[in-house]
Amino acid sequence: MKHNFLVLIAIFCFAASCSNDDDKVAYAEEWSYDGETGPDYWAEIEQESECGGAFQSPVDILQTQTDSTLQPLDIHYDAGIKISNVVNNGHTVQFNFESGNYITLNGEKYELKQFHFHELSEHTVGGVHFPMEIHLVHVSDAGKYAVLGVLTEESATEIEQFDFLDNYLPLAVEESKTVNNTYDINKVLPAGRQYFTYTGSLTTPPCTEAVQWFIFKTPVEAPVSLIEDLRDAMPAHNYRPTQPLNGRIVKESV
């Protein structure tokens, strides 16, 4: 996740209020998910980044440590908050929120900036990918990151909370569409809020470390039609391979 697109672009809406803008967005061509600009070369391409760091993301969730002291996530998502626009930045499709949704971690507020998609999932469980992973990216006033990861399973039926989103797809690379409508992002989260957590990094350049990750243990169902439309809009397999834990412990809430 590139720093500038996470913060400034780094999200869901009703189709009736969306317009089709031809506004172009910044498209970074210097890195990709394939070949000589793929993940194996990010540290070389983005020399001022942390992509070669020791505490990178994503990771394989295999051995975990149950921690009964982990508290339920303190999530404050308001159904009345607007999505400003949806963007295809060349690496992912991303919906951007106006201010008002946030989580609180250790007494500090992290505002939800955007959510975006990876296909297949970036985090794996026991080495197994899910069809898609949704990242909800939060930033504190101090510039610290916290990301909620939602793993998905395929559903053959239409699902209301995802239907509106599919109305904006596919987007051409560099294309942005105005949304300017409200959406209850709570509907995207699983009913079960237990999670895996660890400290890692952004999963795209500049691979900034000290990111607090929370991966929901329970996947949600997403329509096959949505996954297919995202696949058409995004680069093939826009996920970074899992990274070594290097001594980190993935904790599990109860």
181-216 per-position pLDDT tens digit: 999 999 999 999 999 999 999 999 999 999 999 999
Neighbouring CB atoms inside 10 A of 193's CB total 14
Our measurement of the distance from residue 199's CA atom to the centroid of its chain's CA atoms, rounded to an integer in Å, reads 16
Q: What percent of the chain has pLDDT over 70?
A: 89
Which tokens in the block code for residue 42?
């990010």
pLDDT at 140: 98
d(CA 172, CA 176): 8
pTM of the model: 0.88
| The architecture CATH gives domain 3-252 | Roll (3.10)
Residue positions annotated with a catalytic role? 91
Write out pLDDT tens, residues 209-250. Answer: 999 999 999 999 999 999 999 999 999 999 999 999 999 999
Provide the residue ranges of all domains of the chain, joining segments of one domain with +.
Answer: 3-252
Instruction: Tell me the H-state helices in the chain.
Output: 3-4, 42-45, 160-166, 224-233
